[in-house]
């Protein structure tokens, strides 16, 4: 029976099916499939060398896959690169900025080569570089250079925006500015595919996620589904006897861990308790009932859903004792 709680699937702007990419004998991308529906934001994550950039290059038609198929706007980006590029704004890790040019001249150059129409003043305003328009690119800070790269990616409001680590090296304020520009672009209908090493960025921005681990898909799905698959976490500090804590362990359905608290600057003696639970509501109730029954005071109490960081650190290659290929 169809799931009526979900909206019907939108057509995919990017469709990657069973793609593998090699450098000689080395398999950098191994049988990867993913789809990015129109109007959504998709985050491609992974450790260094997981194959993200290789896959992005393949999606943009710079690289031909050794196996599998890639479709962007229903076309093969390798054989129809110009047609795909006309509808795609791209921000790579390494930019092609010309140091001697002013910011405005750089964008004038871009205006001359881009098939999309736009105004220099508009994009400078969007990325917050209007006040730097007359300075040479060479004197821009790292974050400002990134924003100029971004100005070229969003030139002419492309339907698809591909961003390879858009906020690496930016200060927290600039990262937030970048996030809000990405959201605005998406609100205006753009489909966004981005890579990032910042898990909070992916969690905050993306509707769906693919995590690559050594070239293979380790985790894939809607962000909400991916996060829901990992237990929530209840945590608190409490002064209680070992017997009382054993009793709490029996009362909750989740997995209870405890370590002595009071170290560092917490200033609280007792036990630091963490419960990883698939049933947070029931287990919060059980903890509160237990605390009342024992006259125990719960300090620093918190209950939070799993974060993408926890999902990430459950990857097989990052689990203790399994590093390396």
Binding footprint of ligand ATP, residue count (CB under 6 A):
11
Is the CB of 20 or the CB of 272 nearer to ligand ATP? 20
Task: For the CB of residue 260, give the shortest distance to ligand ATP in the complex, in Å.
Answer: 38
Task: For the CB of residue 27, give the shortest distance to ligand ATP in the complex, in Å.
Answer: 9
Does 173 bind ligand ATP (CB under 6 A)? Our answer is no
Stretch that binds ligand ATP, among 20-28, 80-88, 257-265, 306-314 (CB under 6 A): 20-28
Binding mask 26-65 for ligand ATP (x = CB under 6 A): x-x-----------------x-xxxxxxx-----------
Stretch that binds ligand ATP, among 23-31, 120-128, 152-160, 290-298 (CB under 6 A): 23-31
Cα separation, 14 vs 72, whole angstroms: 5
Is the CB of 57 or the CB of 159 nearer to ligand ATP? 57
Stretch that binds ligand ATP, among 5-13, 22-30, 94-102, 265-273 (CB under 6 A): 22-30
Is the CB of 14 or the CB of 28 nearer to ligand ATP? 28
Binding residues (CB under 6 A) for ligand ATP: these are 23, 26, 28, 46, 48-54
């Amino acid at each position: 029976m169809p799931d009526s709680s979900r909206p019907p699937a939108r057509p995919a702007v990017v469709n990657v099916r069973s793609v593998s990419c090699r450098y000689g004998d080395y398999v950098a991308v191994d049988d990867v499939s993913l789809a990015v529906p129109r109007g959504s934001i998709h985050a491609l994550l992974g450790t260094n060398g997981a194959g993200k950039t290789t896959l992005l290059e393949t999606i943009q038609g710079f690289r031909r896959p050794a196996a599998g198929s890639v479709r962007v706007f229903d076309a093969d980006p390798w054989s129809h690169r110009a047609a795909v590029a006309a509808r795609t704004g791209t921000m790579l890790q390494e930019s092609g900025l010309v140091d001697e040019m002013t910011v405005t001249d750089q964008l004038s150059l871009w205006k001359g080569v881009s098939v999309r129409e736009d105004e220099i003043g508009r994009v400078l305003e969007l990325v917050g570089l209007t006040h730097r328009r007359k300075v040479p690119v060479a004197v821009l800070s790292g974050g400002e250079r990134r924003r100029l790269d971004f100005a070229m990616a969003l030139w002419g409001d492309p339907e698809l925006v591909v961003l390879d680590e858009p906020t690496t090296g930016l200060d927290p304020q600039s990262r937030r500015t970048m996030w809000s520009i990405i959201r605005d672009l998406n609100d205006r209908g753009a489909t966004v595919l981005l890579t990032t090493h910042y898990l909070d960025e992916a969690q905050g921005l993306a509707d769906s996620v693919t995590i690559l681990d050594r070239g293979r898909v380790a985790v894939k799905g809607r962000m909400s589904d991916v996060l829901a698959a990992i237990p929530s976490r209840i945590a608190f500090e409490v002064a209680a006897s070992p017997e009382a804590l054993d009793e709490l362990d029996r009362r909750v359905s989740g997995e209870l861990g405890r370590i002595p608290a009071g170290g560092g600057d917490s200033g609280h003696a007792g036990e630091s308790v963490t419960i990883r639970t698939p049933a947070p509501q029931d287990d919060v109730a059980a903890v509160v009932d237990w605390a009342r029954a024992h006259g125990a005071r719960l300090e620093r109490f918190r209950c939070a859903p799993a974060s993408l960081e926890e999902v990430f650190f459950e990857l097989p290659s990052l689990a203790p004792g399994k590093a390396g290929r």
